[in-house]
Amino acid sequence: MNPKLKAAFTQMKPVCDKLMISPTPENIKDYLELINDLKREYLQDLQQYLLFPIISHLQSKEMEGRHEVQRFLLIAMKVILDKINVVSYELCIKIEMTLAVLAFDKNKPGMIAEIPEEMKLTAIQCMTSLMLNIETPLRLRLIKSHAPLLAQAIFVSVHMAKLEKFRILRLAALDSLLAHTSMHSKLTDVTYMITDPVLEEAVVQMLCCILPGVLATLQDVAMCPNNPGHAVIVMALNATHRIMCMTMNDKHLKAKSTVTVADIMKVIKEKESANYVSKAKTSDLPKLSKEWFEMAGEKLETVMRSLVRLGAHEHYKVRKELSVLCYRVLSECNSTMQPSISMCLDILISLSSDSYTQVANYCSHARAQYFRNASPNSVLNAMDSLTMNLFMVLGSVPRILNNIDSARKLASLNLLEGYIELLSEGSPQRLTSILSSNEGYSKLCDSLASAAALQTDLTLLNRHAARDVTATPPIDSPWCKFRHLDSKECITKFQRICLLLGETECGQLILDTLLDTFRERRDCELLFLMNLMASAPNSTESLAKRVIDAYIEEDIWYLPLEVASEAPITDEETLDISVYNPRAWNKDNVPGLFEGATETRYTDISYLTPRTQMAPTGCRTLRQAQHNMVQCCLLTEGLGMMARRLGKDFQPYLLKTLCLVLERVGSRYEMLHLSGVKAINDIKSACGNTTVGELIAHNADYFTHQITRRLKKDWNTQSALEILSVVMEYSDSTILEYMYGIVEDVLIQSCDKYYQKNLYSYLQVFHTFVSCIYKWFPHNRTEDAHTDTKDVLDDVIEYIKSEEEAQMAINESEKDGRSVEEMFNEDLERTENDALDYDDTVTKENPPLPKHIEVTITILKRCINFVPAKNRDDAILTLQILTLGLPVIKDYEDELLPLVHQTWGPLVTRFEDTDKAVLRRALDVLVTLAMLSKDFIRHRTLKEVLPKLYKQLHTLSIESHLKDTGSSYRLSPPFHLQIAALTALAPLATELRLSEDDLEEAMKCVSVYLSRKQPKPLQTLAIQFFKTILSYNFGTAWLYLRGFCNNSNVIQPPNNKFIKLAEIVGTPYECDDKDYDKNVKAIFE
C-alpha cells in the first residue's frame, strides 16, 4: 500500500468504525463528508472497505423497520457507487441482492415491498447506479450467470413504473429498467446500440426471454390515463423503442441463402396437413429463429396498435418520441415486425403535418429516408399497404370526427392529408388508379361530405335592419358552421385536403362524382368541397369553369327561402277546431257522443273547399329553408372563389354572373348579403379593379340590360330592384345617367296595383337613390342660431323701450290732428297705387331644375302616398325616405313648401299609431319639416301633434319610473320612443319658434324626466332640452324653473338706471325636492 493510499485508509478507518458501531444520522453525515473529501482513485481502491459497514447494516435484521436510517445508508451507498466502478463480481452480487431484499417482496403486487416511497426511490437509484458503474466483463458475466436476478430487477422496475403514483419514483424505475437491460443512454451510442458485439448478443439473448411481458407493461405505463405531465410517457416510449429495436433488429434474423430438400419437404408436409393445428408452445420455439420473430412480431403488433394512439397527444415531446419509435421500427425491424409496418408508416405520415415544426420536420425526413433507403421490394410492399389502408382511413374519418376528441380528429385529418400527398407524388399518380377501383371516387366523396357536415340554426334566416355594402367583407364563412370540425386547426387541415385533391391528376373525375352526387341529393357539403377543389392554386382552370356553369343553372341558383304555410281556418269552415277540423286527416270524435262517432278521412280535401296548395316558391319546413340558405350562400361564395382562381379569364363570365352576385348583395337576409359582399369583392380583385364601384362602372351595360329586362317580368321584379339598389350604393354620380331611366320605370310600376306586392323593394330603390343623391350632392345646412342674452333684465328693458316708442307715435298723431284710422286708410291707398304703377320690366324665369332634383321630387311625391301604409316595414322605410329626401330640395323653396303641405296630412295620422317604431320615424320626419319650413307648420304642429306627443311622454314616464340599468325596460320600444321624443322636442321648440305659453307646456312635459328615478339616458336628454331652451328663450325657461324649484332662496337685484327692482324670492338653481335637485343644478353648469 502506497503512502498516500495508507493515509487515506487511516483517515477513513475511524469514520467507518463509528458507522459500523452506531449507524446514526450524525455518523452517516460524517461518513458522507469523508467520501466527498477523498479522491476518486482512493475511493476506487478502498471501495470494499467503504461499502462494508453499509452493506452489513442493510443486511442486519436489527435494522428492519428503521426505514429512515436505511434510507440514509442507501443515500451514502449511492454517493459511493456514483464515484467508482465496481470491479468485484462478489461485491456486485452482494449489493444487488441486498437492495433486492429491501425493495422486493414476492408476496406483494408487482413484487414491490411495502416501504416508504422515499426509501423505494433511493433503493432503485442505488440499483441504477450499480448497473451503470460496473465494468463490461463484469456486466457480461452477470448477464450470463445471474439472468434470473436481473430479470427480477427488471420485472420490479417496470411494475414500479406502472403501479406507483410518485412521479419521480416512476421515472427512476424506468431509468433502472434501462440500466438493467443495458439499454441506458450511458451504455449505448447515438444510434441506441451497444458497441460491444459480445455484450450485445448476451443482452439480446436475455431480452428475448422477457420481451413480451416487459413491453406490455411499458405499454400500460405509456397509456396510463393518470400520467401527470409528459415525462413518464416520453421515458416509457424511449425504453420501448430501445428494448424492442435491440431485440427485434433485422440483423438478428438469419436468412437462408439456399433452399434445401428439408425445406421443400416441410412445405409439402404443411400443404398436406393444412388443417393441422400445431400444439407446440411458444416457449418451445428456438430463440431468435424465424418462427420466433414471426410470433414476437404478431404479439408486438398489439403493443404498437395501442401506442399509436399517442400520435394525438397534446405534448409535442410525446409525439416526437413516438415518431422515433416508428422510424426505428421501419428502418431497423422492417423484416421482423411486418404486422406493425403500416401502423408506423401511418404515424410518420400523420405527424409530417404536425403543428410543432420539430416533430413535422423529423417525420418528413424520416419518411423520405425510409423510402429512399428501403429496397424496391419493401417500397412496393409499403405502397400496396398504403393503397389498402387508404380506404380504411376514408371509412374511419367520419367515425373519428364524430366524437369530442379534437386532437384525435386532427391526427386523423393529418393522416388523410399525408396519404393524398404520398399517393400523388410522381407521374402517373398512384391515387388515380386506386380511386378508379372499388367505387373509390364515391367512397372518397361520401367520406369527405360526412366529415364536412354542416349544421343549421335560426340565425341563418335573420334579416338585417340596415345593410352596408361598403363594409369590409367577412374573412371566414359565417354560414358554414361545421358539426364535427370543432377547431380552427381541423377546419384548416380539411380545407388543405380538398385543395390537394383539386390539384391531383384525378381532380376532374372527383369533380364529376361530386356534381353527379349533388344533382341527386343537393347536399350543401358537396358545394363546400367543390368550391375548395376548383379554387386550388394549381388546379386546372377547367374545374373552375365547369363549377361556374353548374352553379348558375336556374334550378340550382334560385332556391326558396320562405316557409310556406296554409291560410288559417275561417269561421265558415269550423267554429271550434277542437270539435271539428275540416283539414285534418282524422276527424275527431265529438265530446259526449258514443264511441263510434269517429271517421277516418283518406284524402286531404275538406267537405267545403279543397286544401290550399303549397306555394311552389316556398319551403315546406323551416329546416328546408335553412338548408337552402346555406346552399345559396355557398353558391354565391363559390362564384367569388372561382373568380379569384381564374383572374382575368373570369371576364367572359361577368355577363352571366355579375347581376346574380349583385342580387345576393341586395338580399334582405344577413347571411346571403354577406356572401354576396364577399363574392363581389373577390370578383373585383380578380378583374383588376380597385373598388366595386369601378367594376360596376366598367360593366354598366351588363346590369342595365338585365335590370330593364327583369323589370318587365313580374317574377323577376324583386331581383331587379335588389340589383338596382346595390348598384346605386356602390356607385358615384357618374352612374346617374344609367339610373334615371330605370328609376323612372320603377316609379311607373309602383303606381300599378298589380305590382304592390313588391312595394318594399320599390321603396328600397327609392331609399337608395335618395341616399345616394344626399351623399353625392352635399348641401349647405344653415342653422339659425338663437343666441338670446341670458340677462333676465333684457326682456324688461326691451318692453320698456317698446312702450316708450308707442307713446311717442301716439303723441305725433295727436299733433297732426289725424286719428289712427285715418292714417291706416292713407297707407292702404298708397299701397294700391304702387301696385297699379308697374313698369315694362320682364320677369326673369327660374332656371330648370337639375335632373336629380326632378327625380327626387317625383320620388317624394310618390312616397307620400305610402306614409299611411298598413305594413310596418313599408311605413318605416317610407318615412326614412322623406327624412332623407326633403333636405335634398331645401334650396328649392317653390317645390319644398307644397311637398311639406302634402306630407302633413298622412304624417299626422302616424302619430296615432300604436307602433312605437313607426312613431319614432314619424318624429324624425316632423323635425326635418320643422328645420326646413320653420313656422310654416307651427300652428298645425301645436294643434295636431304636440298634444299627442305630450300625452305619450306623460304616460310613458309612469312606466319608466324606477327602471334602473338592469331593467329590461331599456330594451323595449317605449323606452326608445321616449329617447326619440325627448331628442326631437328641443329642435321642434327652436325651429318652430314657440311662444312662451307653448314653451311652458313643453317644459312641463319634460320636467318629469329630471327626476333621478327615471332612467339615466332620459335624465340626460331632459337636461339637454332645458339647456337648449335656456339658449333660445332664457327668460321663459328661467321663470319656469324658478316656479318648478319652488324654494325660498332670495336673489338680490342688480342696480339699473331705468328701473328699481325688488328682491326676488325663489331661484331656479336649487330644488327643494331631492329627486330633482341634482339634475336642476346640472342645467346651469
Identify the pLDDT of residue 817: 57
**pLDDT for 556 beyond 80:** yes
> Facing residues of 104 across strands?
112
DSSP 940: H
pLDDT range class, residue 65, cuts 50, 70, 90: confident
| Closest-CA residue to 1006 (of 1076, 1077, 954) | 954
The better pLDDT of the pair 317, 804 is held by 317
Highest-pLDDT range among 159-168, 542-551, 823-832 = 542-551
**Residues in the chain, how many?**
1085
Range of lowest pLDDT (938-942, 1005-1009, 1017-1021, 1047-1051)? 1047-1051
pLDDT of residue 247: 92
Whether 1020 shows a pLDDT value over 70: the answer reads yes
For the chain, the structural domain boundaries read 1-84, 87-184+194-219, 701-778+849-910, 935-1085
- Give the phi and the psi of residue 1011 in degrees, each rounded to 5: -70, 140
Rounded to whole angstroms, how far apart are CA atoms 900 and 938?
A: 12
Note the pLDDT of residue 783.
Answer: 46
CA–CA dist 173, 124 (Å, integer): 6
Dihedral sign for Cα atoms in the order 351, 353, 355, 360: positive
Distance of CA 283 to the CA centre of its chain: 58
The secondary element (H helix, E strand) that includes residue 586 is strand 586-587
pLDDT of 532 above 50: yes
Confidence of residue 679 (pLDDT cuts 50, 70, 90): very high
Average pLDDT over residues 339-347: 90
Q: Quick one: pLDDT band at residue 780, thresholds 50, 70, 90?
A: low
The grid cell for 811 is: 303723441
Closest CA to 103 of 113, 117, 111, 93: 113
For 599, the enclosing helix (H) or strand (E) is: strand 599-600
Instruction: For residues 996 and 77, give the distance between their C-alpha atoms in angstroms, rounded to a whole number.
Output: 107
Q: Which amino acid is at 211?
A: L
Across the chain, mean pLDDT equals 83
Asked whether residue 364 carries a pLDDT value surpassing 60, the answer given is: yes
Average pLDDT over residues 535-562: 92
SS3 string, 453-487, reads: CECCCHHHHCECCCCCCCCCCCCCCCCCCECCCCC
Q: Please give the pLDDT value at position 699.
A: 84
Residue 496: strand, helix, or coil: helix
**CA end-to-end span of the chain, whole Å?**
105
Greater confidence, 751 or 946? 946
Q: Which amino acid is at 748?
A: I
What does the pLDDT read at residue 9? 85
pLDDT at 794: 59
CA distances, 1081 to each of 1023, 1041, 1046 (Å): 9, 11, 14
Model confidence band, residue 605 (pLDDT cutoffs 50, 70, 90)? very low
Is the predicted pLDDT of residue 681 greater than 90, yes or no?
A: yes
Give the whole-angstrom CA distance, residue 1038 versus residue 522. Answer: 73
Most confident of 600-604, 726-730, 761-765, 894-898: 894-898
The region of weakest confidence among 34-48, 141-155, 217-231, 257-271 is 257-271
Please determine, for residue 781, whether its predicted confidence score (pLDDT) is greater than 50: no
- Residue 454 CA, distance from chain mean position: 14
pTM exceeds cut of 0.85:
no
CB 1080 within 8 A of CB 1071: yes
Which string of b and e fits 21-32 if b means at least 16 CB within 10 Å? eebeeebbeebb
Cell (9 digits) for 1057? 338706471
Q: At 222, list the grid cell.
A: 405509456
pLDDT of residue 786: 44
What mean pLDDT comes out for the span 615-633?
84
Q: Is the model's pLDDT at 820 over the cut of 60?
A: no
Cell numbers found for residue 22: 452506531
Q: What percent of the chain has a predicted confidence (pLDDT) above 70?
A: 84
- Burial of residue 922, with CB atoms counted within 10 A of its CB: 0-12 exposed, 13-18 middle, 19 or more buried: buried
Q: Which of 1070, 950, 1074, 962 is nearest to 1006 (CA)?
A: 950
**In this structure, are strands 599-600 and 586-587 parallel, antiparallel, or unpaired?**
antiparallel
Question: For position 40, what pLDDT does the model report?
Answer: 86
